Structure 1
Amino acid sequence: MKLFSVFVFVLTMFCTFSSRADDVWVVNIQGGIGPAVSDFVSREIESAQEKQAKLVILKMDTPGGLDTSMREIIRAITTSSVPVATWVGPAGSRAASAGTYILFASHIAAMAPGTNLGAATPVSLTGGPAGGKKDNPFGGNEDPAPAAKDESSATSSEKGSASDEEVKAETAMEKKVINDAAAYITSLAKLHGRNEVWAQKAVREAASLDAEEALKENVIDFLATDLDDLIRQSDGRSVLINGIQQTLSLQNVAYVEREQDWRFKLLAVITNPNVAYILMLIGIYGLLLEFYNPGVGLPGVLGGICLLLAMYSLQLLPVSYAGLGLIILGIVLMVAEAFSPSFGILGFGGIASFVIGSVMLMDTQEPGYQIALPLIIGLTATSALFTFVILALLLKTRRKPVTTGAEMLANDEGKVVSGFPGEGRVLVEGEIWQARCDTALRVGQSIVVKRVDGLCLHVEAKEKE
């Protein structure tokens, strides 16, 4: 009996010490939301499900980002079996534009004091501009049909007319973009019982709120000063996960800071519009150099790698194919100027096409996803110099007479090695060649090469001076 009691005691102690804290994954979202961020966050949420984490916290500070990247993150959140909490913090952080959509989609939405969200008017949700006012950094202006108001929950600011503040759309396409974005954010707000009216204002009027006002307007669930406060207030909260109401139990947690891996860092570099632009030009010029001077290898290999990386990154970015076509046309025209000089008509036309295409290449007005103007000017000047000077020198070199090879053996002198008349062998330029001569020649006699027929030299005796 005593032995059994000792066994039970040891087993109990083993189970106690082997119990571990519930993992809470912390994923940082800082800066613009692009392909690298969406890939990283989606993979982390998927890994959290596989490793049965208790909660995923998205620690957010973003000015916004690309629509496609935002929707990939939201899709990962809404289909996750692990609850996802988005916390805008610490103080001074923001969840603007795309960040607002992600906050609405999360199972738990929290903000630190001194933070803000909103300004969710789309700039280019369908690949085209959604407006035109210069003083509105998030798009143009639309005058859509007013959203339905919930009189029981609407504040006085919601009931008032917003005709002076609403973003107005002047075209049917702009209205479609605004209405699509408004419907999307409304569905996300409805998913977790948050303020649908204000969600539409964030899209239609580019409205913004600070953390305290967001709590009053039922845009977020609560304020949290730090992660510990977030866990404390989330414990025992009921959330809707894949249509099933679940209660969170977060009594004994351990934070797992998820580090950005090499894949994120690589994608972050190559999906930078400026880097993708440079890679594309290096690839094009590398292949051009290889075509003009075949056999070197390095320009072709480097150009091929850079061009493939550029194509991969550009297919992840909102690219205007018209801009890409103008860039290629500009390069073709500048190359044509080097081949057939046209007193600058092709060259200057190519430069103009190259500049316009470079400006149009990124089909979005989101901050951080535009090609820098100094870079465009610098690369345009470099491209012009490359085409007008380097290519001209290459073509000039190609027009020079041949200075090496079998063709240059004509009129060279040598000595007879064996044979003749008929076929024999001669020593010319330190090499032994098959030769033919109709007259008799003796070994060691000097000869002159008259012509080259494939690998056979036609020779004759050198006249004595």
Structure 2
Amino acid sequence: MFSRRQRLAVYLAFILVACILLPVQSVLSNEEADDGQPVIYYIPVEQTVERGLEAFMSRSFETAKEEGATHIVLEMDTPGGAVDAAGNIANLIRNTEIPVITFVKNKAISAGAYIALNTDTIVMAPGSTMGAAAVIDGEGNAADKKTQTYWLAEMRGSAELNGRDPQYALAMADERIDLPELGAPAGELLTLTHTQALSVNYADHIASDRAELIEALGLENVIEKEMEVSFSEKVARFVTNPIVIPILLSVGSLGLVLELYSPGFGVPGIMGISALMLFFFGHMIAGFAGWESLILFVIGFLLIMVEIFVPGFGIFGLLGIGSIIGGMLLASFSTASMLIYIAIAIVITAISAILLFRYFGFRGPMKKMILSDSTSTEKGYISNRTRDELMGQVGEALTPLRPSGSAVFDRERLDVVTEGGYIEQGRQVEIIYTAGSRIVVREKKEI
């Protein structure tokens, strides 16, 4: 069996190797370009539009330029996503000198429709759709008026950029626009089929596959190259998803807390470190964080360990917490969003830890820091034994009881206390209650 240190060393070595291999990128190309031949670069735009996709597309456009691409084709199938990521992708397309074509293979919804409108040419496959681009908040409700106004302006500008009628772009984002002839009366958002898009000039061509696409573009003897999402970019896209981030932070913080209260280095520690490493390295691969954010986090973690095992005044703990939060903020693409994610993780960790400790108790390294032993009678500790045998005995007050004093019972002097009243010296008293060193008496009335 491996010791705790050996298990930890093996795990950290595995993490190090993974970090070295993750950034390896992959580009598949069919052949080298000859002079004068058109070169089409295919870039997949799939799943949710988020900051990880933005980082992938930025690298893809740069690679396409370096490879001498004459056309860039975005093969699109997306339900939409984040407004900020879509805006950055749109700026990337607008600032690219290479003609960009959107090939809608299945759907270009919401942010996908917005990205498509920014491209020079839109080609749709039979059965594909484009539209329904209303902007909503994180809870699925309509965004505030300021955001909606901005988004409508962006949709209009994107349509006008390439000579398309802006009313259809606005109808995709504003349900107040009435277009019953396209199946979008007032109260419904516009979603265009491939034939509808062609009829209103929102699709320039219809193509079933790449061969028909090339023919529709009027190109011949083309060289086709394809950009593939590397494993590291798949990780980055997963990790930078707004839903996944608070989950990772919660799992990471809860895992480390549980590791402090569990024996050895086991599942909680692996779970916590893995989640936090995924968070940091995913954001690093996506281009949002540098090594400084990870270093700051590690320093913060070490400072907290110092605070736990070295007596202090809380300075190391406060500095550690500040460093960890600072590292996460440096790794984020939005400070406000990251603060919300951290708050969610803290609440989930606190509630989960309380429930787990309540039902499973404390174990592990932190158990050494908590005094759980008690000086119970079962362990041989006796303090002020309750003398039940004195109950009912009658004696004489040796001193005035005001209300405490001394009395003698069967030639044994005891310290006693009355029920609250005064009893004169020499009076007969009866013991009515005993508890530890406390003996309560009452004056014995003569009949």
How far, CA to CA, are the matches of 1:208 and 1:182 in structure 2? 16
- The 3-state SS of whatever aligns with 1:392 is coil
How far, CA to CA, are the matches of 1:58 and 1:323 in structure 2? 32
Cα offset for 1:36? 2.3
Q: Which runs of 5+ in 1 are unaligned?
A: 1-16, 133-139, 141-172, 236-249, 333-349, 351-379, 402-465
How far, CA to CA, are the matches of 1:396 and 1:297 in structure 2? 16
Task: Indicate how the Cα distance of structure 1 residues 271 and 52 shifts in structure 2: closer, same or farther if over 3 A, else same.
Answer: same
Cross-structure match for 1:47? 63
- The 3-state SS of whatever aligns with 2:228 is coil
Cα pair 2:246 2:344 within 8 Å, conserved: no
Structure 1 residue 99 corresponds to structure 2 residue 82: no
Which of 181, 184, 201 is the equivalent residue of 1:218?
A: 201
The amino acid that maps onto 2:166 is E
Cα pair 1:48 1:82 within 8 Å, conserved: no
Cα pair 1:115 1:210 within 8 Å, conserved: yes
Give CA-to-partner distance per residue, 1:116-136, whole Å, 9 cap, x none. Answer: 111001113xxx66x84xxxx
- The 3-state SS of whatever aligns with 1:113 is coil
Structure 1 residue 176 corresponds to structure 2 residue 159: no
- The 3-state SS of whatever aligns with 1:53 is coil
How far, CA to CA, are the matches of 2:61 and 2:68 in structure 1? 10
Cross-structure match for 1:147? none
The amino acid that maps onto 2:53 is V
Task: Indicate how the Cα distance of structure 1 residues 298 and 210 shifts in structure 2: closer, same or farther if over 3 A, else same.
Answer: closer
Give CA-to-partner distance per residue, 1:217-253, whole Å, 9 cap, x none. Answer: 1222222232222222323xxxxxxxxxxxxxx3320
Identity %: 30
How far, CA to CA, are the matches of 1:113 and 1:297 in structure 2? 53
Give the TM-score normalised by structure 1: 0.53
RMSD of equivalent CA atoms = 3.4
The amino acid that maps onto 1:200 is L
Cross-structure match for 1:37? 53
The amino acid that maps onto 2:145 is K
Cα offset for 1:319? 3.8
Give CA-to-partner distance per residue, 1:266-292, whole Å, 9 cap, x none. Answer: 213323456544432332134335656
Cα pair 2:113 2:131 within 8 Å, conserved: yes
How far, CA to CA, are the matches of 2:155 and 2:130 in structure 1? 14
Give CA-to-partner distance per residue, 1:154-205, whole Å, 9 cap, x none. Answer: xxxxxxxxxxxxxxxxxxx722122111100111111110111111111112
Q: Which runs of 5+ in 2 are unaligned?
A: 1-32, 176-188, 284-330, 374-447
The amino acid that maps onto 1:109 is I
How far, CA to CA, are the matches of 1:290 and 1:33 in structure 2? 36
Task: Indicate how the Cα distance of structure 1 residues 251 and 327 shifts in structure 2: closer, same or farther if over 3 A, else same.
Answer: closer
Cα offset for 1:57? 0.6
Cα offset for 1:331? 3.3
Which of 235, 238, 243 is the equivalent residue of 1:269?
A: 238
How far, CA to CA, are the matches of 1:330 and 1:229 in structure 2? 52
Deviating more after overlay: 307-316 vs 47-56:
307-316
Structure 1 residue 315 corresponds to structure 2 residue 332: yes
Task: Indicate how the Cα distance of structure 1 residues 175 and 277 shifts in structure 2: closer, same or farther if over 3 A, else same.
Answer: closer
The amino acid that maps onto 1:108 is T
Number of residue pairs matched by the alignment:
278
How far, CA to CA, are the matches of 1:233 and 1:175 in structure 2? 41
Please give the residue correspondences for 1:240-255 in structure 2 after superposition, counting only pairs within 5 Å: 250-255=219-224
Give CA-to-partner distance per residue, 1:366-417, whole Å, 9 cap, x none. Answer: xxxxxxxxxxxxxx5xx4543324453456664257xxxxxxxxxxxxxxxx
Please give the residue correspondences for 1:19-168 in structure 2 after superposition, counting only pairs within 5 Å: 21-89=37-105, 93-124=106-137, 132=141, 140=142
- The 3-state SS of whatever aligns with 1:315 is coil
How far, CA to CA, are the matches of 1:107 and 1:181 in structure 2? 20
Cα offset for 1:72? 2.1
How far, CA to CA, are the matches of 1:275 and 1:44 in structure 2? 24
The amino acid that maps onto 2:135 is P
Which of 371, 378, 385 is the equivalent residue of 1:399?
A: 371
Give CA-to-partner distance per residue, 1:291-334, whole Å, 9 cap, x none. Answer: 568996997687456335436658358947446425414534xx
Task: Indicate how the Cα distance of structure 1 residues 115 and 302 shifts in structure 2: closer, same or farther if over 3 A, else same.
Answer: closer
- The 3-state SS of whatever aligns with 2:87 is helix
Give the TM-score normalised by structure 2: 0.55
